[in-house]
Amino acid sequence: LSPLRARDFANLPPAFVVTADVDPLRDEGPAYIAKLRSAGVEASWRNEPQLIHGYLRARHRSQRARDSFAAIIAAARVFLA
> What global pTM score does this model have?
0.87
The answer as to whether 1 is a domain residue is no
The answer as to whether 9 is a domain residue is no
Contact at 8 Å (CB) between 31 and 1?
no
1 vs 9: which has the higher pLDDT? 9
Residue 73 sits in which domain range?
14-80
In angstroms, what CA-CA distances link 52 with 8, 21, 56, 80?
A: 30, 6, 9, 28
The span from the first CA to the last CA of the chain, in angstroms, equals 29
Residue 2's pLDDT band, with cuts at 50, 70 and 90, is confident
Summarised one tens digit per residue, pLDDT across range 41-76 is: 999 999 999 999 999 999 999 999 999 999 999 999
Task: Specify the number of domains making up the chain.
Answer: 1
The answer as to whether 7 is a domain residue is no
The answer as to whether 62 is a domain residue is yes
Backbone angles phi, psi at 34, to 5 degrees: -60, -40
Residue 1's pLDDT band, with cuts at 50, 70 and 90, is confident
